[in-house]
Amino acid sequence: MCFLGVLKQKNMMHQRMRNNAKTLSRELNWLKSVLKLRYKISIESQRPNQDIYEILPPDISQDNSVYAQCIRHFAMSSDERLVLILSLCPHIRPEILDLFFTKNKSYERIYTQFGGLVGKRHSGFLPTGETAAFIIAGNNVAKRIEVLELFRPSHYFSKLGILKLDLQKGQYREPVLSNPLEISEEYLMRLTSGQPYKPDFSTTFPAKLLSTRLDWADLVLDPHVLAEVSEITAWLEHEDKIMNDWGLKKLLKRGYRALFYGPPGTGKTLTACLLGKSMGLDVYRVDLSQVVSKYIGETEKNMANIFDQAENKNWILFFDEADALFGKRTNASDSKDRHANQEVAYLLQRVEDYSGVIILATNLKANMDIAFTRRFQSMIYFPTPNYEQRLRLWRNSFEGLQLEDDVDFHQLANDHKIAGGSIINILRYCSLSALSRGQDKIAMEDIEEGLRKELRKEGKTL
């Protein structure tokens, strides 16, 4: 991207942030006014000639901020808006909630109906579901029951991963509303900066965002392989029409599951990247070394973290060397085998329920559990490239470089049945080799030495 393009993008980002900040300021002031009135009514027992619903929320009908667009998109009620801005308040203006540190003089403790927690590092008040119930309902039992509905799994707050009550598992079962009110990282970013959420690789999200500078023209595959890949593109383009306009959601599961199999270096990962790039979707490669655990329940927990964050975001999840996790089940001769089979069954369910695209890649199709393979919409074989394809790969890879006269791509393509990934490795090696000799031109001997190194990896010789 050119300098002017980057500058324009930054200006747009800052404008979105400024627009959101203005909207959030008005929304927070509204929360503050509602909170003060609720306190007067429920704690100070005052009888002002006003109900909290007479303090109208800010008008966002002409507001073009991301926050306002979100409110309009979900047609949020006043109660939903109060819960949403309450979840954001500790992140933006925590001092508004300091009122909840007021103590009940009769008992020398914070009022029970305030709920709330104090963080380990954050010294301010952290709202719980009880805090939301107090602001909205006060002592009105019927209204408190209505507030509970905002935190049901069926409500879009939970279904779409906007916010939730973080249910704490302890020795005793606590009241539902006593749990912390948490906004998701995705919506925290979207409703403050206006930027889409792209999680970083971490222990709680062991997946890496993939990208490529290449295009479809750089991918060298058999025409029939490209035709099969195009079926995935067609699904991404027409899923909504098929499921909704044609009414097939009664018969078809959402999402798409594909298996890419074949020798290493044949284009499986690049194809996944290009699918995302061409459709404007993020592709995340799951690091199975961080997912699989020898401890009971940990593998399922790690996978749940990935699927929970990916749900409703339309990401493409790419599992490379998938047989390490999705391999064949065995006869359950001991507890270890039974647990391994339980892991596969759990993964099968999560893969089947995911509403986006999942691509599993493996070198050997035979290693995959048949329960997974039955559920793939596509099973695409990526063969070792033939002579014509190898010639294209050699030429494309070395395009634009200075070559000695003895470099013969026809000979290389004819003599060595290697994949594109190996050719890229050879390109790296022989470029460094030429420069180490103080030369700008690549010679055939550089390429041949690179070939020897690649073949030695497979236990072969030139």
Q: Write out pLDDT tens, residues 25-35.
A: 999 999 999 99
Q: Which residues contact 439 (CB under 8 A, 6 or more apart)?
A: none
**Residues 95 and 125 sit within 8 Å (Cβ to Cβ):** no
Q: How many CB atoms lie within 10 A of CB 102?
A: 12
Let me know whether 122 and 222 are in one domain.
no
Let me know whether 432 and 328 are in one domain.
no
Let me know whether 150 and 11 are in one domain.
yes
- Residue span of the structural domain in which 111 resides: 3-192
| In 385-443, alpha helices (H) | 387-397, 409-415, 420-436
Structure tokens that stand for 151 in this block: 């935190």
Residue appearing with tokens 């990962």 = 269
Let me know whether 232 and 174 are in one domain.
no
Phi/psi at 392 (5° precision): -65, -40
For 444, counting Cβ atoms within 10 Å of its Cβ (0-12 exposed, 13-18 middle, 19+ buried), the class is: middle
Phi/psi at 221 (5° precision): -140, 160
Residue 283: strand, helix, or coil? strand
Domain membership of residue 303 (yes or no) is yes
Is the pTM value of this prediction over 0.85? Answer: no
Let me know whether 358 and 411 are in one domain.
no
Domain membership of residue 96 (yes or no) is yes
- State how far the Cα of 29 lies from the Cα of 134, in Å rounded to an integer: 18
**Residues 57 and 152 sit within 8 Å (Cβ to Cβ):** no
Count the alpha carbons within 13 Å of 136 in the hemisphere toward its beta carbon: 26
Domain boundary residue, one of 192, 215, 245: 192
Let me know whether 180 and 238 are in one domain.
no
Domain membership of residue 253 (yes or no) is yes
Let me know whether 27 and 133 are in one domain.
yes
In CATH, what number is assigned to the domain containing residue 322? 3.40.50.300
Q: Which pLDDT band holds residue 11 (cuts at 50, 70, 90)? A: confident
Q: What is the largest CA-CA distance in the chain?
A: 95
**Residues 89 and 181 sit within 8 Å (Cβ to Cβ):** no
Domain membership of residue 299 (yes or no) is yes
Domain boundary residue, one of 192, 223, 241: 192
Mean per-residue pLDDT, 7-30? 86
Let me know whether 97 and 173 are in one domain.
yes
Nearest in space to 82 (alpha carbons), one of 16, 181, 185 = 181
Domain membership of residue 197 (yes or no) is no
Domain membership of residue 87 (yes or no) is yes
Lay out the sheet containing 256-261: strands in order across: 207-210, 283-286, 316-319, 357-362, 256-261, 378-381
What are the CA-CA distances from residue 23 to residues 28, 30, 33, 205 (Å)? 9, 11, 16, 31
In CATH, what number is assigned to the domain containing residue 422? 1.10.8.60
What pLDDT is recorded for position 432? 93
What pLDDT is recorded for position 29? 98
Phi/psi at 86 (5° precision): -65, -40
Q: Write out pLDDT tens, residues 251-265.
A: 888 899 999 999 999
Structure tokens that stand for 375 in this block: 């559920």
Let me know whether 54 and 167 are in one domain.
yes
- State how far the Cα of 235 lies from the Cα of 278, in Å rounded to an integer: 13
Nearest in space to 16 (alpha carbons), one of 61, 59, 65, 60 = 65
Q: Write out pLDDT tens, residues 350-365.
A: 888 899 999 999 888 8
| Beta strand spans in 77-137 (E) | 103-104, 109-110, 117-118, 125-126
- State how far the Cα of 183 lies from the Cα of 165, in Å rounded to an integer: 9
- State how far the Cα of 35 lies from the Cα of 73, in Å rounded to an integer: 26
Let me know whether 181 and 105 are in one domain.
yes
- State how far the Cα of 196 lies from the Cα of 395, in Å rounded to an integer: 38
Radius of gyration for the alpha carbons in the chain, expressed in angstroms and rounded:
29
| pLDDT at position 168 over 70 | no
Q: How many CB atoms lie within 10 A of CB 317?
A: 23
Domain membership of residue 438 (yes or no) is yes
Which of 88-102, 301-315, 407-421 is the least confident region? 301-315
Let me know whether 340 and 357 are in one domain.
yes
Domain boundary residue, one of 192, 225, 259: 192
Q: Write out pLDDT tens, residues 372-418.
A: 778 889 999 999 999 999 999 999 999 989 999 999 999 999 999 99
Domain membership of residue 200 (yes or no) is no
What pLDDT is recorded for position 37? 95
Let me know whether 364 and 439 are in one domain.
no
Helices (H) and strands (E) in the chain, counts: 18, 12
- DSSP letters for 264-275: TTSSHHHHHHHH
Strand partners, 128: 180
Domain count, the chain: 3
